[in-house]
Structure 1
Amino acid sequence: MKTGKSVLPPTAEPPRKSIFQDRNFVLFLVGQCITTQGLWVQKIAMSWLAWSLTGSPFWTGLIAALNFAPAFILGPVFGVMADRVNLRKTAVTLNLMMAATAFLLMILSMAGQINLFWMVVLAGTNGVLASAMTPVRLSLVPVIVQREFMSRAVAYAAMNFNISRLVGPAVGGVVIATWGTGAAFMINAASYIPMIFVLATVKIHVERAPDAKSKRVLAALVDGANYAIHHPMIRSVLALSCFVALVGTGMVELMPVFAEAVYDRGVTGLGMLASASGVGAVASTFMLSRIKSDPVAFQRVTIIGAFAAGCGMLGLGFAPWYELAVMLVAITGFGLTAVGVGSQTALQLTVDNKLRGRVMSFWSATSFGGIAVGGMMLGAISEAGHIQYTARGSGALILCAAIVGLWRLYRVGTTDAKSATETAK
């Protein structure tokens, strides 16, 4: 007897749910979008101000590095903190403090009192706050979205960040050229307000939050380190992302030197180079959003990204024309983002939830610490010689790291295949 109801064939799969049906994630994404626009406007302002005040690649690299250096030392400690604090309250507090530093930068800049001392102090302060915020932010994603959406959540959050990276520097260049650096710092200070509202209202699934309160800080930190060191994929992914950040992303922090000293294009040229890197990053994150939630697939992406970043950086070291440099910076941005987001997603899909804050803090420490150390090291090298020679060396080293990563992945795959064959016998 026919009932008139349609029945799906047994082989039919239910339609794939969209992550954008999740109100929590949409709110988080919108808040992050506004805040990161402000961050990139401030970042371009600080880089340009450092170069304008000193005319030195070393100091330009150092100021950029101070925004990341504390993560290398303090990141793992803040990772333990992220595993045991109230994520909502901590995130709101940290955002308020970062807004306060941006407001102070605005006051000093508008009053004409900004100098190298204040830039060093406030860049370092921002670095400490950012190193505390990173493991908290990364621990928020799993308690906001379902696991089936994890890879897409990370990819879309990264795409959001990199769209800001595309738009923010271009906007920052115009704002600085028209109203000065004080206006850029004011935009960043105001951009924290929507994110604070989102963090206060978004639903947190407390039952999925990590809990490490039963252990002392040092013991909890050692547990996280042992877990990361003895897990082959986590160890490999952390090593590659750290090295690429050291010699690749650290080089990108010296874009003001390329814009002014190599191509004589000023702050608008710097904004265009930074935006080109953002175009490549957006394309990369769009590709990443189409990959299934498989940690091995994302590990492969990090290696592909390292090859792209190495080729782009090597080409930048030889580029005689600004227009060609813009294209090569876009390729480099594509590759660096594939490494950064691919490694982050591989870890998020692999790590034990009880250790998430600590392991993700190791990722932020190696990635951002690599940027910090790399920015200072490459800035010092470029001070002694031509910056394009430094870019050539960076590109060659990244290509070597990509080859090693590919070899290790092939070796692990071969070992797993042999083990499966022996088990079948």
Structure 2
Amino acid sequence: MLTDAAPGPSIFRDRNFVLFLTGQAISTQGLWIEKIAMSWLAWSLTGSAFWTGLIAALHFAPVFFLGPVFGVITDRVDLRRAAIFLNLLMAFTSFFLMGLSYSGHVTLGWMVVIATCNGILGSATTPVRLSLVPAIVPREYMSRAVTYAAMNFNLSRLVGPAIGGLVIAWFDVGTAFLLNAISYLPFIVVMMLVDINTTRGPETRQRRIWPALIDGARYAVADPMIRAMLLLSCVIAIAGRGMLELMPVFAEAAYDSGVTGLGILSSAGGLGAVVSTFMLSRTKSDPQSFQRVAVIGAFLAGSAMLGLCFCPWFELAVFLVGLAGFGLTAVGVGSQTALQLTVDNTLRGRVMSFWSATSFGGVALGGTVLGAISQWSDIRVTAGGSGLLIMLVAVVAIWRLGRAKALAPSAAE
């Protein structure tokens, strides 16, 4: 899984990629700061695990239905203009939410509306973002560019909430919304500066959306690796990341630690993500290696969540959340990078929109269902059940990988 092969030319010599990665790092941190702030605000307003899970779910639910459609559109549009337009809209919604928070007019109804709007914008943004990386770097840099961009985004998914928890504890939720609004501006500037080269199939603009979408689905289902990574991503999103969306409930209901405990638990998850990212940077740049990374990460995350079910001490819970962050980051980076290194460029927007639909749509479903379950039972029990499900899927995946490896030599003969 790790390699000591001689490195090629450094990806960080490429001006386009350095600019893109810098802008993305800033904007994605802001995005996840806002998500944790909205989850905490929903919990503060309602005291309900269900509403907390639902607000988190609305950020992701639209991608399940609209993501593949936006994936087809992404394969047709000018990526630069699309990225700038979408980031401007997201900055506007963040400034609006900040204004509501500072003026004292934020209500559950407004939160539902804004979370839904953000979910729709996120559905359009994800396939554009995933298609940008291969379009801004030369072919010889692509595998490393995809890897670092995937690690950056998935690291933000855990580091961002950690920062958000600390910002809420030290300042207030309005400051968290302000930071997110500002974070989009550097990325908009970057999109004006980078060179973008895209490859479109001859039929891309001519075919209607539905037939083009079916072509992408057939391509994804026919490839065993793509099919397996999409399934694993969906399960992890529902049972794993869906559980992390309820971290405000966990901090308060399980350990009575309030927003300070939320910041500590979120920071632990972020630290786990950092360690995972360091190890992933040494992973061999081929789809099979990242597929193994995803499966092993799933097993570790499931084990950590099962441990939370029986954990009476907050200090041990911090360690387990860190281990879960390590595993979930490995799954996110491993599955995304394996797909990016496999998919045909003319179908990239569609296939990666399927990944975002399973990943983010799964979070929406998981956040809602797990929030409803936790409303009527101990949240520790919910975490344990989620961990068991993840471990079961990981064990099956490990068995299939071993079987495929054993069959490979005989097939070669």
Q: TM-score range by the shorter chain?
A: over 0.9
Alignment TM-score, normalising by the size of structure 2: 0.95
In structure 2, C-alpha distance between the alignment counterparts of 1:14 and 1:65, rounded to whole Å: 44
- Letter of the 1:313 counterpart: M
Q: Could you tell me how far 1:170 is from its partner in structure 2?
A: 4.1
Residues 387-413 of structure 1, C-alpha deviations (whole Å, 9 max, x = no match): 000111111110100011112222333
In structure 2, C-alpha distance between the alignment counterparts of 1:243 and 1:172, rounded to whole Å: 26
Alignment-derived partner of residue 90 in structure 2: 98
Alignment TM-score, normalising by the size of structure 1: 0.92
SS of residue paired to 1:351: coil
Q: Could you tell me how far 1:166 is from its partner in structure 2?
A: 5.5
The answer (yes or no) to whether the contact 2:133–2:149 under 8 Å persists in 1 is no
Alignment-derived partner of residue 279 in structure 1: 271
- Letter of the 1:282 counterpart: V
Alignment-derived partner of residue 298 in structure 2: 306
The answer (yes or no) to whether the contact 1:92–1:199 under 8 Å persists in 2 is yes
SS of residue paired to 1:53: helix
Alignment-derived partner of residue 313 in structure 2: 321
The answer (yes or no) to whether the contact 1:72–1:365 under 8 Å persists in 2 is yes
Alignment-derived partner of residue 420 in structure 1: 412
Alignment-derived partner of residue 61 in structure 1: 53
In structure 1, C-alpha distance between the alignment counterparts of 2:291 and 2:244, rounded to whole Å: 23
Query: Are 1:126 and 2:155 an aligned pair?
Result: no
Q: Could you tell me how far 1:276 is from its partner in structure 2?
A: 1.1
- Letter of the 2:26 counterpart: I
Q: Could you tell me how far 1:161 is from its partner in structure 2?
A: 3.4
In structure 1, C-alpha distance between the alignment counterparts of 2:151 and 2:234, rounded to whole Å: 21
Q: Aligned pair in 2 of structure 1 residues 203, 394: CA closer, same or farther (>3 Å)? A: same
In structure 2, C-alpha distance between the alignment counterparts of 1:297 and 1:176, rounded to whole Å: 39
Q: Aligned pair in 2 of structure 1 residues 72, 244: CA closer, same or farther (>3 Å)? A: same
Alignment-derived partner of residue 260 in structure 1: 252
In structure 1, C-alpha distance between the alignment counterparts of 2:89 and 2:15, rounded to whole Å: 27
Q: Aligned pair in 2 of structure 1 residues 131, 84: CA closer, same or farther (>3 Å)? A: same
Alignment-derived partner of residue 376 in structure 1: 368
What is the correspondence of 1:79-90 to structure 2 with a 5 Å cutoff? 79-90=71-82
Alignment-derived partner of residue 223 in structure 2: 231
The answer (yes or no) to whether the contact 2:298–2:390 under 8 Å persists in 1 is yes
The answer (yes or no) to whether the contact 2:155–2:329 under 8 Å persists in 1 is no
Q: Could you tell me how far 1:146 is from its partner in structure 2?
A: 2.8
- Letter of the 1:36 counterpart: T
Q: Could you tell me how far 1:163 is from its partner in structure 2?
A: 5.0
Query: Are 1:151 and 2:143 an aligned pair?
Result: yes
The answer (yes or no) to whether the contact 2:165–2:266 under 8 Å persists in 1 is no
SS of residue paired to 1:291: coil
The answer (yes or no) to whether the contact 1:84–1:210 under 8 Å persists in 2 is no
The answer (yes or no) to whether the contact 2:236–2:390 under 8 Å persists in 1 is yes
The answer (yes or no) to whether the contact 2:287–2:337 under 8 Å persists in 1 is yes
> Which moved further from structure 2: 161-170 or 132-141?
161-170
Query: Are 1:360 and 2:386 an aligned pair?
Result: no
Q: Could you tell me how far 1:153 is from its partner in structure 2?
A: 1.9
> Which moved further from structure 2: 340-349 or 286-295?
286-295
Alignment-derived partner of residue 200 in structure 1: 192
- Letter of the 1:368 counterpart: F
Tell me the C-alpha RMSD between the 2 structures: 1.6
Q: Aligned pair in 2 of structure 1 residues 299, 57: CA closer, same or farther (>3 Å)? A: same
The answer (yes or no) to whether the contact 1:381–1:390 under 8 Å persists in 2 is yes
Aligned residues: 408
In structure 1, C-alpha distance between the alignment counterparts of 2:306 and 2:7, rounded to whole Å: 44
Residues 25-68 of structure 1, C-alpha deviations (whole Å, 9 max, x = no match): 10011111211222222122111101000101111111111111
Q: Aligned pair in 2 of structure 1 residues 182, 152: CA closer, same or farther (>3 Å)? A: same
Alignment-derived partner of residue 12 in structure 2: 20
Alignment-derived partner of residue 404 in structure 1: 396
Query: Are 1:191 and 2:218 an aligned pair?
Result: no
SS of residue paired to 1:350: coil
SS of residue paired to 2:366: helix
Alignment-derived partner of residue 33 in structure 1: 25
Q: Aligned pair in 2 of structure 1 residues 295, 162: CA closer, same or farther (>3 Å)? A: closer
Alignment-derived partner of residue 5 in structure 1: none
SS of residue paired to 2:341: helix
SS of residue paired to 1:100: helix
- Letter of the 2:142 counterpart: M
The answer (yes or no) to whether the contact 1:80–1:221 under 8 Å persists in 2 is yes
In structure 2, C-alpha distance between the alignment counterparts of 1:370 and 1:163, rounded to whole Å: 19
In structure 2, C-alpha distance between the alignment counterparts of 1:390 and 1:415, rounded to whole Å: 38
- Letter of the 2:180 counterpart: N
In structure 2, C-alpha distance between the alignment counterparts of 1:333 and 1:355, rounded to whole Å: 31
Residues 111-133 of structure 1, C-alpha deviations (whole Å, 9 max, x = no match): 11101101011001101101110
What is the percent sequence identity of the aligned residues? Answer: 66
What is the correspondence of 1:284-303 to structure 2 with a 5 Å cutoff? 284-303=276-295
> Which moved further from structure 2: 249-258 or 13-22?
13-22
In structure 2, C-alpha distance between the alignment counterparts of 1:147 and 1:344, rounded to whole Å: 18
Unpaired stretches in structure 1, ≥5 consecutive residues: 1-12
Alignment-derived partner of residue 180 in structure 1: 172
Query: Are 1:250 and 2:242 an aligned pair?
Result: yes
Unpaired stretches in structure 2, ≥5 consecutive residues: none
Q: Could you tell me how far 1:264 is from its partner in structure 2?
A: 1.2
- Letter of the 2:153 counterpart: F
> Which moved further from structure 2: 147-156 or 289-298?
147-156
Q: Could you tell me how far 1:340 is from its partner in structure 2?
A: 1.1
Q: Aligned pair in 2 of structure 1 residues 210, 58: CA closer, same or farther (>3 Å)? A: farther
SS of residue paired to 1:137: helix
Q: Could you tell me how far 1:210 is from its partner in structure 2?
A: 5.9
Q: Could you tell me how far 1:213 is from its partner in structure 2?
A: 1.0
Of structures 1 and 2, the larger Rg is shown by 1
- Letter of the 1:59 counterpart: W
